[in-house]
């Protein structure tokens, strides 16, 4: 009996000795990996959005906390414990439900703002509520703080950056777990006096007017209304902010506009008619000559044909010995095409022979 008791005594002493040599070690904090904070701007003393991304090493379980602490100079003025909409948290891309401080229940994360002023370093604490599932170790967690937080409701507050001088003293943001969550982390952010690059440029004024159909012929004028064989087109492009005008001036006989026979006996087929009216409805066997304008294609500002030349059928606009606006626009245009159709009719009094006229078009940009 004594031997048995002695043996038990020896075993007990051995257990005590081994326990002293190999004590139970507490859980050690582990640093999260791939820890980053992307700011919408790193300019000093202005508001910015923050996007934190990191891979957790420990399981983040219900009842446990994760805190972010900023160095002096950063301000959370405008943030409130009642406004969880300024925050988004995702687990491997899956949005987590956030609730205001004091409202922790169910499957949600409670947000608490540690401080908001610029004197004491600001911080934010995220607590997984009692009914929330565990975020497993190895998960990628993203925390958005600012107006880019849009899950549930859009954020309306941003953190104010510290100054460049304050950043030179302390640029470190820390992460710390609590309530049994052991992850930690730290990173540095750069804040500078100015990170905005001003880019200046001057766009040179431009205008192009490409003409086609510079020769057009009435094959035979013998009384009936006739259309010349070629339509004149002007393709216009300009970056003039106030647009352009396209004018036309008619040579005629040097005194009045129209188709002119310069060899004796001379004769003028007046434009738009023998009375040189602004417009005319051409008729068979009645002297008259004029043009019709239209616009097609291109882009930019709308091009308007002057009412005088915005004609169709056998109605024509009369030409003038002075430059007269045929079409115009009030803004920049690209490849707008103005087309001009020429129509004429003659009476039995029009002398036989060759008739000519010269129409001079001018494009003017209004810069």
Which of 24, 312, 50, 64 is closest to 161 using CA atoms? 50
Confidence of residue 14 (pLDDT cuts 50, 70, 90): very low
- pLDDT above 70: residue 243: yes
- pLDDT above 70: residue 300: yes
SS3 for 85? Answer: helix
Q: With the C-alpha atoms ordered 141, 142, 145, 151, is the resulting torsion angle positive or negative?
A: negative
**Percentage of the residues of the chain whose pLDDT score is greater than 70:** 91
pLDDT of residue 238: 99
CATH architecture of 30-188: Sandwich (2.60)
What residues contact 251, with CB distance under 8 A and at least 6 apart?
A: 257, 260, 321, 357, 358, 359, 360
Confidence of residue 281 (pLDDT cuts 50, 70, 90): very high
Domain extent listing, the chain: 30-188, 207-365
Confidence of residue 121 (pLDDT cuts 50, 70, 90): confident
Average pLDDT, the chain: 92
Which phi and psi angles does 2 have, rounded to 5°?
A: -60, -35
Average pLDDT over residues 281-302: 98
The CA distance from 333 to 91, in Å, is 51
The CA distance from 296 to 302, in Å, is 10
The CA distance from 17 to 345, in Å, is 128
pLDDT of residue 223: 85
The CA distance from 169 to 195, in Å, is 19
| 3-class SS string, the chain | CHHHHHHHHHHHHHHHHHHHHCCCCCCCCEECEEEEEEECCCECCCEECEEEEEECCCCECCCCEEEEECCCCCECCCCCCCCHHHEEEEECCEECCEECCCCCCCCCEEEEEEECCCCCCCEEEEEECCCCCCECCCCEEEEEECCCCCCCCCCCCCEECCCHHHHHHCCEEEEEEECCCCEEEEEECCCECCCCCCCCCCCCCCEEEEEECCCCCCCCCCCCCEECCCCEEEEEEECCCCCEEEEEEECCCCCCCEEEECCCCCEEEECCECCCCCEEECCCCCCEEEEEEEEECCEECCEEECCCCCCCCCEEECCCCCCEEEEEECCCEEEEEEEEEEEEECCCCCCCCCCECCEEEEEEECC
Rg (CA), the chain: 43
How many other C-beta atoms are found inside a 10 Å radius of the C-beta of residue 292? Answer: 21
pLDDT of residue 152: 83
State the residue for tokens 């988004």. 88
pLDDT of residue 348: 95
Q: Which of 10-14, 69-73, 253-257 has the lowest mean pLDDT?
A: 10-14
Q: What is the pLDDT of residues 82-120, one digit of tens each?
A: 999 999 999 999 999 999 999 898 889 999 988 766 567
pLDDT of residue 119: 62
* Residue that wins the pLDDT comparison between 117 and 270: 270
Which phi and psi angles does 86 have, rounded to 5°?
A: -80, 0
* Residue that wins the pLDDT comparison between 1 and 214: 214
Confidence of residue 311 (pLDDT cuts 50, 70, 90): very high
């Amino acid at each position: 009996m004594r031997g048995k008791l002695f043996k038990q005594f020896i075993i007990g002493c051995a257990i005590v000795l081994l326990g002293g040599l190999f004590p139970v070690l507490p859980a050690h904090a582990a640093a999260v990996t791939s820890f980053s904070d992307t700011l919408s701007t790193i300019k000093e003393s202005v508001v910015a959005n923050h996007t934190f991304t990191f891979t957790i090493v420990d399981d983040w379980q219900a009842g446990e906390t994760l805190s972010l602490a900023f160095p002096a100079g950063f301000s959370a003025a405008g943030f409130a414990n009642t406004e969880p909409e300024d925050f988004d948290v995702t687990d491997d891309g899956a949005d987590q439900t956030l609730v205001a401080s004091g409202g922790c229940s169910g499957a949600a994360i409670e947000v608490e703002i540690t401080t908001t002023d610029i004197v004491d370093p600001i911080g934010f604490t995220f607590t997984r509520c009692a009914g929330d599932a565990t975020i497993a170790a190895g998960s990628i967690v993203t925390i958005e703080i600012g107006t880019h937080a849009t899950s549930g409701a859009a954020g309306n507050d941003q953190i104010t950056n510290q100054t460049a001088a304050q950043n030179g003293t302390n640029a470190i943001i820390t992460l710390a777990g609590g309530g049994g969550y052991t992850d930690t982390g730290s990173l540095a952010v750069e804040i500078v006096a100015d990170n905005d690059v001003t880019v200046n440029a001057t766009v040179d004024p431009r205008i192009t007017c490409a003409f086609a159909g510079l020769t057009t012929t009435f094959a035979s004028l013998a009384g009936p209304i006739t259309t010349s064989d070629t339509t004149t087109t002007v393709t216009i492009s300009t970056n003039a902010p106030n647009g352009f005008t396209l004018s036309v001036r008619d040579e005629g006989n040097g005194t009045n506009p129209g188709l002119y026979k310069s060899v004796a006996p001379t004769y003028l087929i007046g434009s738009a008619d023998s009375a040189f009216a602004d417009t005319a409805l051409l008729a068979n066997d009645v002297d008259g000559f004029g043009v019709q304008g239209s616009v097609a294609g291109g882009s930019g500002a709308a091009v308007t044909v002057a009412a005088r030349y915005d004609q169709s059928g056998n109605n024509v606009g009369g030409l003038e010995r002075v430059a007269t606006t045929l079409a115009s626009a009030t803004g920049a245009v690209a490849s707008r095409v103005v087309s001009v159709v020429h129509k004429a009719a003659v009476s039995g009094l029009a002398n036989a022979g060759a008739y000519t006229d010269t129409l001079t078009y001018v494009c003017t940009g209004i810069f």
